[in-house]
Amino acid sequence: MLKNYLKIALRNITGNPLFSAINIIGLSIGLACCIIITLYVQYETSYDKHWQDADRIHRVTRDFFSNDLELATIAPPIAPLLKQDYPEIEDITRLMNIGTTAFTIGEKTVNEEAVVIADSNVFDFFQLEFVAGEPATALTAPTNIVLSERAAERLFGSTDVMGETINVAGQADFTVTGIFRDLPDNTHMAFETAMSISVIPLMMGPDALERWGSNNFHTYLRLEPGFDPDELEAKFVDFIIRHRGEDAPDGTAINLQPLTGIHLTSNRDSEWQPNGSLAAVYTFSAVALVVLLIAVVNFMNLTTARSTQRAKEVGIRKVVGADRSQLILQFLGESVLLTAVAMLLALALVELALPSFAAFLEKPITLSLTNPPTLVTLIGGTVIVGILAGTYPAFYLSHFRPAAVLKGTVSGSGSALLRRALVVFQFATSIALLIATGVVMAQMHYARTVDLGYEKERNLVHSLPFFADLWGLYTPLKTELEAHPDIESVVYSSRIPSQQNLDSSGYLAAGTQEVLENTVGISDIKVDWQWFDHYDVEFLAGRSFRENEMKIEQPSEEQPVVKAATVLNESAARRLGWSPEEALGKIVREPQDSDLTLWIDREVVGVIPDIHFSSLHDEMKATLYAEPNDRYQRHISVKLAPGDPGEAIRHFEDVWTRLVPNDPVNWEFLDDRFDARYRAEGRQAQMFAIFSGFAIFVATLGLFGLASFTTERRTKEIGIRKVMGASARNIVMLLTSDFTKLVLLANVIAWPVAYYFMSQWLTRFVYKAPFTEWAWLFVASALVALAAAWLTIALQAGRAATARPVMALRYE
């Protein structure tokens, strides 16, 4: 029996090449999309699950409510106090991500990325495997440094480098005391080199590990087995008050995050690197399923449309003794077989597409067919999709009564309504996907073209590695660079546009009572006096800095109050209670110690509008611009003259290499940095574009098949109409108008759905492209869908309409 089913299924597949091709191509595209997205989802959800006792590890994070800061990192004194206060904490470890740092080995200086400063227990905590050295003791001395295998290979060309010396940032020599296996790719952390935390007091000041305001440490704790993280978190409520007493700032809290959830659910300030997004995982899963569903609908539609052709077979089988369940089984078998063929093709497509997809996502995603669970999933998937596609047609086809079909009085019209509904579904989802693609692209365009409030074009920026500063070198650097005709100006600052600004302090409007509670949290950026001219920022009131306002003394017991100047943005002025004009001449006081005895009093000399300093994801913060001190010359911006930047760049590299030999040249264009901030969205736009392309293609394929059957069924009618004088145009109109109505109906459904979902998507941006800028997309998507449908049907209809009528009539 099975052999018989298989045989007739195969013959049905080969005997109806158009039908089979449409279904197999559609299903294979749908399946390929699903396989690829499943691999992506599998990878995204695998993050950090591999660490030993991962379910007991949590990250400690910190919120500052007054400044809207949600930090992934906390201050260094917190970890030891937590361990001391709460016995349920089995172990705790701290890592400070210092990013790019200049390493000198012999004569060669390179910028080493992904450098951390960590507690000595970090390797035991995460059970990192060592290929050389002792994990427990590798980071005990201040001059110890531990490398990953990859870093060792890159720096020394070998992993046999125990005892070798690395000079860090031209400051001190460090000895390699351990080599660990590279971190897996699927972890939210990113480091390849670790230095000992005991170096911090030596390089950053003896009290550096006691500063409660220095929230730079990723801190992980492991609970004793059986303890509830929520209960521990609840106990944190009075932790800061208990340890800080009166010094405790208002509106700050520490929290716990499960390690395994960080990659997909955490989007805090100061993450290691941009995390994944659960929303993206859901969205792409849904979209891949939609493509598959459209293909499944094709199968259902084409099979029921073709039902008259198979009705006779059903009748005969029933007459000779088949009961309905046997027929249902037979048809399900056919759909499963067809799906199996599609699955083989899908696997071939996946093989072809996966490398570029993995490269596109920058994730090492692979498919291993020799892996038994994968095989079981693929086979199970084939059966499920086959049954999903085949069930309705199987029930529909098997219900035919033999007396009626053998007499030839059955037509396939019974399911016509459902078929129309399914076509509407296919086009509605395709149109919604098209609109989604358009909205993502519109927002990207908006982000690139919106007036940021300053001129970001033609800026080359250079960030200094950790530990380095330009003190003393800055003036000669600026003078030499500006001497070049293609360089317009050079400024430095503590942050550059495109960066998130996480620096902030408490400020007091002069005249208010001098208590800590009255301070207002405001972000601050330290800038060169020409910074506003360089970036072409307009002033709402007042003026820019003057050169003589850049150097100030630090307040001391002899001179407890120091005067200085400041420029505020509009929000900062408002937060302090002033309009831009009112703010001019007012004094903003910055306490320098917790006893409120030492002050810097800044006179407001100018107010600028709020500018989009960071990306459009982030709110424009209330910001105070002030003079730099030696810690804050971390970034320089070089404005290039219009035209070919080649000469200017070469000059920059020459001057830099000569004047700053310890820090390898490492410039970027500011534009590129902004583009990088929108990279995740750029990827989404491309993924949406690809998927909606597939959806439209598969839906159109189905429509093509449906139209060809309809035309075939109506051949005689067309012939008679032509004999009666209908023109080819009349005939094409006749055949297209039906489907046109369906596509229009699909729009009515797709528009509100797309509007709802895309409004949700846009909430990830604080600043969104206004609806008026993307409203046209709705009409455009409707036109694209209509054009695709018309072209498809007209192809069929045109052939029928131009045939000689006698041919059509002879057909019967």
Partner 1 sequence: MIKLHNLSKVYRTSDIETTALDAVNLEIDNGEFVAVMGPSGCGKSTLLNVLGMLDTPDSGSYTFIDQDVSKRSERELATVRKQNIGFIFQSFNLIDELTVAENVALPLLYQKTPAGVRDQAVREVLERVKIAHRSDHRPQQLSGGQQQRVAVARAVVTQPKLILADEPTGNLDTTNGEEVLNLLEQLNSEGTTIVMVTHDRGHADHASRVVNMLDGRVLSENVVGMQAASEAQHA
**Which residues here bind partner 1, judged by CB under 8 A?**
1, 4, 7-8, 11-12, 15, 312-313, 315-324, 326, 401-403, 406-407
Residue 446 CB, nearest approach to partner 1 (Å): 58
Cβ neighbors of 163 (< 8 A, separation 6 or more) are 175, 176, 177
Question: Which of residues 10 and 809 has its CB atom nearest to partner 1 in the complex?
Answer: 10
Residue 322 CB, nearest approach to partner 1 (Å): 5
Orientation of helix 776-802 relative to helix 679-713, angle to 10°:
30
Question: Which of residues 328 and 428 has its CB atom nearest to partner 1 in the complex?
Answer: 328
Residue 382 CB, nearest approach to partner 1 (Å): 23
* Region at 169 (left for phi over 0; alpha for psi -120 to 50; beta for the rest): left
Residue 412 CB, nearest approach to partner 1 (Å): 18
DSSP string, 555-569: P-SSS-EEEEEEEEE
Q: How many helices (H) and strands (E) does the chain have?
A: 27, 22
Residue 20 CB, nearest approach to partner 1 (Å): 13
The Cα–Cα gap between 224 and 233 comes to 14
Least Cα distance to 695 among 434, 456, 494, 312 occurs for 434
Helix, strand or coil for residue 175?
strand
Secondary structure string (H, E, C) spanning 30-85? HHHHHHHHHHHHHHHCCCCCCCCCHHHEEEEEEEECCCCEEECCECCCHHHHHHHH
Residue 1 CB, nearest approach to partner 1 (Å): 6
Strand spans (E) along 68-201: 69-71, 89-105, 108-118, 130-133, 144-148, 165-168, 172-180, 193-196
Residue 337 CB, nearest approach to partner 1 (Å): 14
Residue 708 CB, nearest approach to partner 1 (Å): 20
The Cα–Cα gap between 386 and 390 comes to 6
Q: C-alpha angle with apex 138: 133 to 141, nearest 5 degrees? A: 140
Q: Are 681 and 499 in contact (CB under 8 A)?
A: no
Residue 762 CB, nearest approach to partner 1 (Å): 53
Residue 319 CB, nearest approach to partner 1 (Å): 5
Handedness of CA 529, 531, 536, 538 (dihedral sign): negative
Question: Which of residues 329 and 502 has its CB atom nearest to partner 1 in the complex?
Answer: 329
Residue 321 CB, nearest approach to partner 1 (Å): 3
Task: Specify burial of residue 282 (Cβ count, 10 A radius: 0-12, 13-18, 19+).
Answer: exposed
Question: Which of residues 402 and 645 has its CB atom nearest to partner 1 in the complex?
Answer: 402
Question: Which of residues 10 and 502 has its CB atom nearest to partner 1 in the complex?
Answer: 10
The Cα–Cα gap between 583 and 602 comes to 12
Residue 383 CB, nearest approach to partner 1 (Å): 24
Q: What are the distances in angstroms from CA 461 to CA 41, 531, 633? A: 36, 13, 12
Question: Which of residues 41 and 329 has its CB atom nearest to partner 1 in the complex?
Answer: 329
Residue 812 CB, nearest approach to partner 1 (Å): 15
Question: Which of residues 182 and 323 has its CB atom nearest to partner 1 in the complex?
Answer: 323
Q: What are the distances in angstroms from CA 359 to CA 61, 364, 519, 644, 684? A: 32, 8, 49, 31, 14
Instruction: Give start and end residues of each alpha helix (H) in 714-812.
Output: 715-723, 728-762, 771-774, 776-802, 805-810
Cβ neighbors of 322 (< 8 A, separation 6 or more) are none
Residue 340 CB, nearest approach to partner 1 (Å): 19
Question: Which of residues 195 and 405 has its CB atom nearest to partner 1 in the complex?
Answer: 405
- What DSSP designation does 261 have? G
The Cα–Cα gap between 681 and 724 comes to 58
Indicate the residue type of 620. M
Q: Are 303 and 422 in contact (CB under 8 A)?
A: no
Length of the chain: 812
- φ, ψ of residue 461 to 5 degrees: the values are -120, 150
Question: Which of residues 136 and 316 has its CB atom nearest to partner 1 in the complex?
Answer: 316
Cβ neighbors of 320 (< 8 A, separation 6 or more) are none
Question: Which of residues 7 and 741 has its CB atom nearest to partner 1 in the complex?
Answer: 7
The Cα–Cα gap between 535 and 117 comes to 35
The Cα–Cα gap between 311 and 316 comes to 9
Q: Can you tell me which residue has the tokens 């020394």?
A: 156
Question: Which of residues 12 and 700 has its CB atom nearest to partner 1 in the complex?
Answer: 12
Question: Which of residues 325 and 356 has its CB atom nearest to partner 1 in the complex?
Answer: 325
H or E segment to which residue 242 belongs: helix 239-244
Residue 688 CB, nearest approach to partner 1 (Å): 43
Question: Which of residues 405 and 703 has its CB atom nearest to partner 1 in the complex?
Answer: 405
Residue 17 CB, nearest approach to partner 1 (Å): 14
Least Cα distance to 461 among 625, 645, 658, 608 occurs for 645
